[in-house]
Amino acid sequence: MNSTFTKIIRIVLGVLLIPFGLSQFIDFNILPTHIYTGEAAIFIDSLSSTGYFLKLVGMLEIIVGVLLLANKWVAFALLLLAPISINILLFHLFLDIPGLYMALVVVILNTILIYKSWKVYRPLFH
């Protein structure tokens, strides 16, 4: 888990997650803005109308990003990120194809890091 390749992937994923998590609380002009249409807009509006859900996901993205950058509790952070990244992928796959490339990046990086630290997860399956 401590190879240079793994460190780079961990840092890249952490750097990607923090701005996207912060975007739920602060309006960034540096992030690409995307207007959702159709069913994607209805879905995002319904999540937004709960008042907490998107903020919770944003907070988890920030926490996971900080943990990855600090190299603390990385295995735990990757487990927290797994369902979030799968849902991001499924949202873009079924409702918003233009954002699919970034979702794939997050899922692939998360999968690589989980694979690289598989020995930590092995006791969960015995």
pLDDT tens for residues 31-78? 556 678 889 889 988 998 998 999 999 999 999 999 999 999 999 999
| 6-30 pLDDT tens trace | 999 999 999 999 998 998 888 766 5
Distance CA 126, CA 123 (A): 5
Question: For the chain, how many residues are written?
Answer: 126
pLDDT of residue 23: 86
Q: Give residue 1's pLDDT.
A: 59
CB-CB contact of 116 with 6 (8 Å): yes
CA distance 9 to 22: 20
Instruction: Residue 10: count other Cβ atoms within 10 Å of its Cβ.
Output: 24
Report d(CA 15, CA 62) in Å as an integer: 10
Q: CB neighbours (10 Å) of residue 47? A: 14
